[in-house]
Amino acid sequence: MANFTKADLLYSGYKDTALPDDDPKRTGKPDSTLLNRGESYEMVYFINRYMTDKNWVLLATFQRIEAFLKEDKNSNKSHGFWRGELDKRFTA
């Protein structure tokens, strides 16, 4: 099970603005259908969840996924869109 934290993110400048009822750690689900790649808690949650579903555990993989998500030019895309893109590009 992937259990990385904000400290494991390579990129800086993330916002940490989740409201208590918007934080997936408290609600158990993403705060919206769109992935906000600018919020640390949402990136960590999304990547951990994706990696857990794939049974991936390496920090290097976590950080490669983060880099892909941060550098991709698509914007305002759903969690499902990003999962599909990751499925196309990553094998571990």
What is the pLDDT at residue 33? 80
CB 31 within 8 A of CB 22: yes
Among 14-18, 24-28, 71-75, the range scoring the smallest mean pLDDT is 24-28
pLDDT band (50, 70, 90) for residue 69: very high
* pLDDT at position 25 over 70: no
Residue 69, CA distances (Å) to 20, 27, 46, 72, 78 in order: 25, 23, 11, 6, 12
Across 18-34, average pLDDT: 60
Question: pTM, whole model, 2 decimals?
Answer: 0.84
What is the pLDDT at residue 32? 56
Across 64-81, average pLDDT: 94
